[in-house]
Structure 1
Amino acid sequence: MARIKLSFPDEVFTFSTEMPVRITDINGANHLGNDALISMLSEARAQFLVSHGIQEADRDGTGIIVTDLATMYQSESFFPELLTFEVGLMDFNRYGGDFVFRVSKSASGQPVALAKYGFVFFNYLRKQVVPIPEDFRARFA
């Protein structure tokens, strides 16, 4: 199987936050587990949206749903390192686009991971994909 190779332009990253690697994030190999990293990516995405005044789900039942995920691990991370999560948006289509992430060690800048996940807007009440809300498109696309 071909290896995933991710690369993003620097200017796509418009938000940054830091999170510590918790002891509960460590796996059997004694480093940050992939499941914990994915949870941290979701937290970074939520912080990005909140920083722009956007809630995960709207009153009409419309929210964001993740459609796919790709992660390229670059180095190990350990408890209690502080990680920097840079977040951006790109590759918009009618229904969504991609959240992109660059994760590095805050102290040294050493890359830890690159990731992206596709998303679409989804109306949870109607159980269907819906077009990107115009205010979201105007702000980011």
Structure 2
Amino acid sequence: MPRITIDIPENLVFETSLSVRISDINFAGHLAHDAILTLTHECRARFFHSHSWTEINVEGKGIVVSDVAIVYKSEAFFPDDLKIQMYVDQISKKSFDLVYVITHKNDGKEIARAKTAIVFFDYTLRKACPIPDVFLNVISKNPN
């Protein structure tokens, strides 16, 4: 099976800091694979909150995650401080990709990359819908 690769897009839209919790550690003593997904979800939720939205209410529309990929680069341990950068890529009418780069805050060593494909969703109609313009305006801008 070919290895998964996740390239870093140019459009950085959000950055946050988080610490590895003891509950994020697996039997091998390092950051667990499921915790990587939880960290990306926390980053995404903070991004939405920073714009006074929630993941189920951007002008009455919400999101669903349609796929996930994670590529590991190095270990992290309790209670390491992490930096998570979130980039946007592959914007279409109803969906886009979020790419997360997780690094050690103190030395910048990369821990993991992750990608989530996000689809805007009308929870009333129970089907995919166009990305709201206000959201599209935010993710289409490059603050750098």
Structure-2 separation of matches of 1:89 and 1:134: 15
The one-letter code matched in structure 2 to 1:122 is: F
Structure-2 separation of matches of 1:139 and 1:111: 26
2:9 maps to 1:38: no
Structure 2: tracts of 5 or more residues without a match: none
Residue correspondence of structure 1 range 1-141 to structure 2 within 5 A: 1-9=1-9, 11-58=10-57, 62-141=61-140
Change (3 A) 1:16 1:127: same
Q: Which has the higher contact order (CA 8 A, sep 6+)?
A: 2
Structure-2 separation of matches of 1:49 and 1:58: 9
TM-score of the superposed pair, with normalisation by structure 1: 0.92
Q: Structure 1 residue 126: deviation in Å?
A: 1.5
Structure 1: tracts of 5 or more residues without a match: none
Q: Please state whether the residue corresponding to 1:3 is helix, strand or coil.
A: coil
The one-letter code matched in structure 2 to 1:5 is: T
State percent identity of aligned pairs: 37
Query: Considering only aligned residues, what root-mean-square deviation do their CA atoms show, in Å?
Result: 1.5
Q: Could you list the runs of 4 or more consecutive aligned residues of structure 1 that deviate by over 4 angstroms after TM superposition?
A: none
